[in-house]
A and B are shown apart, each in its own frame.
Chain A
């Protein structure tokens, strides 16, 4: 029997349920007929003796002895208990204790129809399953695709936003630059005006001397008169010629307006950089020579000042400090002489230090913040480790895009080490973009160091090149060269002396044009370049003076004509970078200078400002 079913039902065994087959098999056993058997018509089966069935047959075929379970199972397969309420006073033909069950497809001698008996809906076996899965899968797909679409949208929005904000920033910067140019021009105008005033005054005096006749004649129609020489001659009261007055008034009005706007804009751009910083000193203060007078009041720690200046350094603006109008300054640029002595120190000490221990402390006044942009994990880790051993704080970016985003988001660094070939955005493009809003020194790290490559790097705003594979020494040299302003001078000199450092190391660099760059370190009056070198400890105070202009509080002290001068101090630390440009800048490209200057402020502001503000 068993065998037969096994063979015969081979095909059906797959589709019909185990339980149903067991049930059928059980009913085929004639020895059970007194306990459980097919119904008389073969269309149902009857459990005649419940107790015996439960105890002896159930365990044999269904591995349990629980009649209730058995009934539940039957229900699951849609068997129904046959009730006989309508017949013969509700008594079953098989006896009162008998349970009769039937299923339309469960019939004696019809094994094939067993396949049609399936579990009921709650846990359908096959077809329903497919449906169950299909629906959620479809839904999931739908949701997924929607999600992806949304993400794409979000991403493109984000990109657009980044782009726009970058453009916005650029525009703001440009505008500020233009405004500053205007202010400069205005100062020129003012100078011209004051000169005219003096000429005017002299003429009036002369005309008075010339004789009352002239005066009386002119009283009738003075300013409207066509004759220019007569026009100047005014009534005996000491007023300047009315065109002059008018012009002066116009100038003053304009001046105020420009100032206002330009502050606002700077504010905007500062906000944009997330380092709400001070605005640049309004250039139109009325007190000439302010730098000197203001100097004495500042009492902040020198080193602190310096440390926080790091950011200040890079903005190219410093050359702008040299007012293009004063061309004679160019010839007076004092190179910081002291540097030579210092050159020896750092150089000797640094390499020596390296040999002795793996932890080199270059003597930063604070940890330089370095951004390492490198897609290769090995290089990134080694580079980071080296930097870490030089006591630097490291942030890293996987590619140019991430670097641009980081910097655009307002992260400030003292130095950026930039791989050139990277996915998504290469180093040169990234540098180009960053240069639109930031002038942190960027060093190309690359094995492509052919001369045309290198000049391309510089063209796009890179400041130096560190050939790959870089060495620890090479890296350290690079840091010392570009972060000289963060270094302490061991013998207790003023921290500014870090500059010489930069100078010295720059000798190694690919660019040797840095000598002119040092000019910015000198102040407007060029008197004491040595102060910056830190070599002259005898004059500790003067350097402070020069920082003032950066402080918002001083803004009013600066004279319009001279305001560029203050920038030069900031430039001092900066000079190691931008060697190239400075030459041309000194040449006096007004617009370029102005743009750069304003950039410088943007950067300098955040870092330089807080520490400086403290003393006040």
Chain B
């Protein structure tokens, strides 16, 4: 994890965390490039931590919406988190959110075919939500390490 890839092409050559496929380096890098100070990284840090808050809140709302079987809300929450995770380059999170969006709209995971069974949609969302939380945690860990924050106790 401590290994970092140096991006020679960009002038800022921000140190990207070695994040595997959790985070899309190109997307994340363009946000890092916006940092005025490469030590402080105030801008990207605030974006990323703002996203953490947003994600936590959204997950809570998703849980609540699952409890009430509120598919439309689940769909729109999925869409909402999809946007920000995509902008940060959290590819996996984004993909899962997109699926939740589709399931919530009673579609299959690609959004191409209708799914008529509500319970099935809810179950799919339940599974996907579980998965996306894990994916989020993984990305969060990487990002927090990148911002030099000690790991959260497991």
Contact = CB atoms under 8 A, between A and B. Distances in A.
Interface residues on B, range: 20 to 34
A470 B26 CA distance: 12
A376 B53 CA distance: 12
Given A385-B43, A386-B34, A356 B27 contact: no
Nearest to A475: B30
Q: Among the interface residues B51, B83, B88, which one has the most CB atoms of the partner chain A within 10 A?
A: B83
Interface string B15-46: 00000000000110011011000000001001
Contacts of B46: 381
B86 interface: yes
B84 A358 contact: no
A83 interface: no
A468 B30 contact: no
Interface in A363-411: 375-379, 381-382, 385-386, 389
B27 A469 contact: yes
Given A357-B11, A358-B11, A378 B84 contact: yes
Contacts of B26: 471
B11 A378 contact: no
Given A377-B50, A378-B51, A447 B33 contact: no
B87 A358 contact: no
B121 to A, nearest CB: 19
A57 interface: no
Nearest to B36: A358
A376 B83 contact: yes
B72 interface: no
A468 B86 contact: yes
Interface in A127-150: none
A38 to B, nearest CB: 67
Contacts, number: 65
Contacts of B51: 378
Contact of A375 (B27, B30, B80): B80
B30 A378 contact: no
B33 A358 contact: yes
Interface in A454-477: 468-472
A3 interface: no
Contacts of A382: 31, 34, 47, 87-88
Nearest to B24: A469
Given A355-B10, A356-B11, A469-B27, A379 B34 contact: no
A421 interface: yes
B128 interface: no
A357 B13 CA distance: 10
Contacts of A376: 54, 80, 83-84, 87
Contacts of B9: 355
A441 B10 CA distance: 32
A378 B33 contact: no
A469 B86 contact: yes
Contact of B83 (A355, A358, A378): A378
Nearest to B12: A358
Contacts of A471: 26-27, 30
Contacts of A389: 34
A385 B34 contact: yes
A472 B11 contact: no
A469 B89 CA distance: 8
Contacts of B30: 386, 471-472
Contact of B47 (A358, A381, A472): A381
Nearest to A419: B83
A355 B12 CA distance: 9
Interface string B69-111: 0000000100110111011110000100010000000000000
Contacts of B50: 377-378, 381
A378 B47 contact: yes
B83 A379 contact: yes
B33 A377 contact: no
B14 to A, nearest CB: 10
B83 to A, nearest CB: 5
A421 B11 CA distance: 35
A385 B41 CA distance: 14
A352 to B, nearest CB: 11
Contacts of B27: 469, 471
B140 to A, nearest CB: 14
Interface in B52-76: 54, 76
Nearest to B83: A376
Contacts of B94: 469
Nearest to B9: A355
A447 B83 CA distance: 8
Contacts of A469: 27, 83, 86-87, 89, 94
A472 B12 CA distance: 15
A358 B80 contact: no
A470 B33 CA distance: 15
A378 B88 contact: yes
Contacts of A468: 83, 86-87
Given A375-B80, A377-B54, A358 B86 contact: no
B12 A447 contact: no
B54 A378 contact: yes
Interface in A397-447: 419, 421, 447
Most buried by A among B11, B12, B33, B76: B33
A490 to B, nearest CB: 21
Interface string B118-136: 0000000000000000000
Nearest to A375: B80
Nearest to A445: B83
B95 to A, nearest CB: 12
Contacts of A385: 31, 34, 43
Given A375-B80, A378-B47, A378-B54, A447 B34 contact: no
Contact of A421 (B10, B79, B98): B79
A417 to B, nearest CB: 13
Nearest to B80: A376
A590 to B, nearest CB: 43
Interface in A474-499: none
Interface of B: 9-12, 26-27, 30-31, 33-34, 43, 46-47, 50-51, 54, 76, 79-80, 82-84, 86-89, 94, 98
Given A381-B50, A382-B34, A471-B26, 9 more contacts: A355-B11, A376-B80, A378-B83, A378-B87, A385-B31, A386-B34, A421-B76, A447-B82, A469-B89
The 6 closest A-B pairs by CB, nearest first: A378-B84, A469-B86, A376-B83, A469-B87, A358-B33, A472-B30
17 contacts: A358-B11, A358-B34, A376-B84, A376-B87, A377-B84, A381-B47, A382-B34, A382-B47, A382-B88, A385-B43, A419-B83, A447-B83, A468-B86, A468-B87, A469-B83, A469-B94, A472-B30
Interface of A: 355-358, 375-379, 381-382, 385-386, 389, 419, 421, 447, 468-472
